[in-house]
Amino acid sequence: MTKTTGVGRPRASGAAASKREARLAVLDAAGELFTGAGYAATTTRAIAERAGLRQASLYYHFPSKEDILAALLEDTVRPSLDVAGGLSAEHAPVGTRLWALAYADIHLLGSARHNLGALYLLPEISSPRLARFRAERAELKRVYGALVAAAGVPGDLSGIRTDLVFGLVESIAIVRRDRPDLDVEAHAVEGADSVLRLAGLGEPDAGLRASARSLLES
Amino acid sequence: MTKTTGVGRPRASGAAASKREARLAVLDAAGELFTGAGYAATTTRAIAERAGLRQASLYYHFPSKEDILAALLEDTVRPSLDVAGGLSAEHAPVGTRLWALAYADIHLLGSARHNLGALYLLPEISSPRLARFRAERAELKRVYGALVAAAGVPGDLSGIRTDLVFGLVESIAIVRRDRPDLDVEAHAVEGADSVLRLAGLGEPDAGLRASARSLLES
């Protein structure tokens, strides 16, 4: 459903645009309340109020509070999965690809408007409605694991080392909580350097970082 | 208040022993419910029921649910602070002391009956009643920071590097959630090795690990 406004390309209709805006307003309000007041303490009524919608409109987009949590958490993983997919097509060295993925991932978790990584430890994560989030996060971890193995970490250690690498990346949620004034860019650079150290790839230099950044731009 | 039972040393009275047991039963029940059902979803009534006590007895030990949370969380930090205090009296090399602290800390968080590190990201952590836990955790982080600086990490990087080291240690809470079959001993060894890599101390060898373990036993 589109309408044309004089000359130029057809645009999304007002109705479609406002549906999209309503969905985003719900996600933003929920992110703020879940990380601030807590998931269990937040009602869908409070989310609708903060988003400036009637509760019926909220239910149109999300049948339950867990569906909102699922959508929020999927958004913390999917952009990094997209980066991982793009990197797999490149013939860059494994260290460059691992640095690029860790840098992008820490940046995403560190710069999101709300500290959504803090929600990863909720008991509700094991709910059936969160299955897609769990599967996508497991797929992202599998990509880290493949890069850690390709870096030369022996098979019997690559599982634990991947746990440590993934834990280091996700620990940005704890750091954000402790340091409201966090310098995300500096933390992402040091974090990606540290991931390479954990993978046994030694000290990254400026050339590797520059190559990794241009992989991300391509 | 003691009673003697025939010959031998005086023992703690039944009343004192059962007060201590009641306190431990409350903490164990709360640890299970907070990590399983969630903090907000757990009532003091449910904790008392699971601990096999009347609610009045629970309130005798803990005036509020937040006091139970505070006691549980302080127990996740204080033993590592004790280790840190013991290590500061030793003249062992900085790498040996850092390995020993990280190994003991990961082991403590990884082996506790309930995955209490998962509670560090609760919004309730900022409550006034959690002030002592926050201060003790900050003191533990300060010790890591002093060791990272002593390892030779430049001053402008030692803050971020300490955040990464501390995040790596505490990420055991995420790993425990993901892997119910976690090998805590292997994870603690690899985790402590990884902390040394982050501090720029290179690859730890069997000799360093053995020295660190004997520091912990002394």
* CATH 1.10.10.60 boundaries in chain B: 13-63
Amino acid B24: pLDDT: 95
Amino acid A14: pLDDT: 67
Q: Is CATH 2.40.50.100 the classification given to domain B13-63?
A: no
Of B38, B174, B198, the CB nearest to A123: B38
C-alpha–C-alpha distance, residues B14 and B210, integer Å: 43
Q: Which fold has domain A65-217?
A: Tetracycline Repressor; domain 2 (1.10.357)
Tens-digit pLDDT profile for residues B107-144: 999 999 999 999 999 999 999 999 999 999 999 999 99
Confidence of residue B183 (pLDDT cuts 50, 70, 90): very high
Confidence of residue B16 (pLDDT cuts 50, 70, 90): low
Look at B170 and A174 and tell me if their CB atoms are within 8 Å.
Answer: yes
For B121, the closest chain A residue by CA position comes to A118
Look at B168 and A168 and tell me if their CB atoms are within 8 Å.
Answer: yes
Closest-CA residue to A103 (of A7, A169, A173): A169
SS (H, E, C) chain A: CEECCCCCCCEECHHHHHHHHHHHHHHHHHHHHHHHCCCCCCCHHHHHHHHCCCHHHHHHHCCCHHHHHHHHHHHHHHHHHHHHHHHHCCCCCHHHHHHHHHHHHHHHHHHCCCCHHHHHHCHHHHCHHHHHHHHHHHHHHHHHHHHHHHCCCCHHHHHHHHHHHHHHHHCHHHHHHHCCCCCHHHHHHHHHHHHHHHCCCCCCCHHHHHHHHHHHHC
Superfamily of domain B66-217: Tetracycline Repressor, domain 2 (1.10.357.10)
Residues 75-134 of B with CB under 8 A from A: 118-125
Can you state the angle between helices A206-217 and A65-88, rounded to 10 degrees? 110
Of A40, A175, A197, the CB nearest to B40: A40
Beta carbons of B24 and B109 less than 8 angstroms apart: no
pLDDT at B6 over 90: no
The pairing of beta strand B11-12 with beta strand B2-3? antiparallel
**Pair of tokens at residue A136:** 């996508």
Q: Is A211 exposed, middle or buried (0-12, 13-18, 19+ CB in 10 A)?
A: middle
Look at A123 and B35 and tell me if their CB atoms are within 8 Å.
Answer: yes
Higher pLDDT, B12 or B32: B32
**Pair of tokens at residue A169:** 């990346």
Amino acid A187: pLDDT: 97
Amino acid A91: pLDDT: 87
Closest-CA residue to A218 (of A87, A75, A78): A87
DSSP string, B202-213: ----HHHHHHHH
Task: State the amino acid at position B127 in one-letter form.
Answer: S
Task: State the amino acid at position A104 in one-letter form.
Answer: A
Give how far B71 is from chain A: nearest CA, Å: 20
Per-residue pLDDT 10s for chain A (218 aa) are: 444 344 444 445 567 668 889 999 999 999 999 999 999 999 999 999 999 999 999 999 999 999 999 999 999 999 999 999 999 888 899 999 999 999 999 999 999 999 999 999 999 999 999 999 999 999 999 999 999 999 999 999 999 999 999 999 999 999 999 998 999 999 999 999 999 999 999 999 999 999 999 999 98
**Chain A contact set for B198 (CB, 8 A):** 194, 197-198
3-state SS, residue B26: helix
**Chain B contact set for A36 (CB, 8 A):** 123
Look at A163 and B157 and tell me if their CB atoms are within 8 Å.
Answer: no
Look at A163 and B37 and tell me if their CB atoms are within 8 Å.
Answer: no
C-alpha–C-alpha distance, residues A52 and A58, integer Å: 10
Q: What are phi and psi of B11, to 5 degrees?
A: -115, 165
**Pair of tokens at residue B115:** 């995955």
Of A171, A178, A190, the CB nearest to B168: A171
In a mutagenesis test of the B interface, which of A43, A121, A169, A193 is the best target, namely the one with the most B β-carbons within 10 Å? Answer: A121
Residues 134-153 of B with CB under 8 A from A: none
Q: Is A200 exposed, middle or buried (0-12, 13-18, 19+ CB in 10 A)?
A: middle
Look at A191 and B41 and tell me if their CB atoms are within 8 Å.
Answer: no
In total, chain A counts a number of residues equal to 218
Amino acid A13: pLDDT: 59
**Chain B contact set for A174 (CB, 8 A):** 120-121, 166-167, 170
Give how far B57 is from chain A: nearest CA, Å: 27
* CATH 1.10.10.60 boundaries in chain A: 11-63
**Chain A contact set for B175 (CB, 8 A):** 163, 167
Task: State the amino acid at position A55 in one-letter form.
Answer: Q
Q: What's the average model confidence in pLDDT over B9-38?
A: 84
Task: DSSP letter for B39, please.
Answer: T
Beta carbons of A153 and A196 less than 8 angstroms apart: no
Higher pLDDT, B208 or B1: B208
Look at A168 and B172 and tell me if their CB atoms are within 8 Å.
Answer: no
Of B37, B121, B198, the CB nearest to A123: B37
Amino acid A95: pLDDT: 97
Can you state the angle between helices B184-198 and B206-217, rounded to 10 degrees? 110
Confidence of residue B14 (pLDDT cuts 50, 70, 90): low
Q: In sequence order, what are the beta bridge partners of A2?
A: A12
3-state SS, residue B12: strand
What Cα–Cα distance (Å) separates residue B89 from each residue in B11, B95, B125? 34, 15, 32
Of B118, B122, B172, the CB nearest to A38: B122
Of A121, A123, A187, the CB nearest to B174: A121
The mean pLDDT value of chain B amounts to 92
Tens-digit pLDDT profile for residues B61-100: 999 999 999 999 999 999 999 999 999 888 899 999 999 9
Q: Which residues contact B204 (CB under 8 A, 6 or more apart)?
A: B95, B99, B192, B193, B196
Amino acid A8: pLDDT: 45
Closest-CA residue to A175 (of B121, B120, B105, B167): B167
C-alpha–C-alpha distance, residues A218 and A94, integer Å: 17
Superfamily of domain A11-63: Homeodomain-like (1.10.10.60)
Helical (H) or strand (E) element with B2: strand B2-3
Look at B160 and A197 and tell me if their CB atoms are within 8 Å.
Answer: no
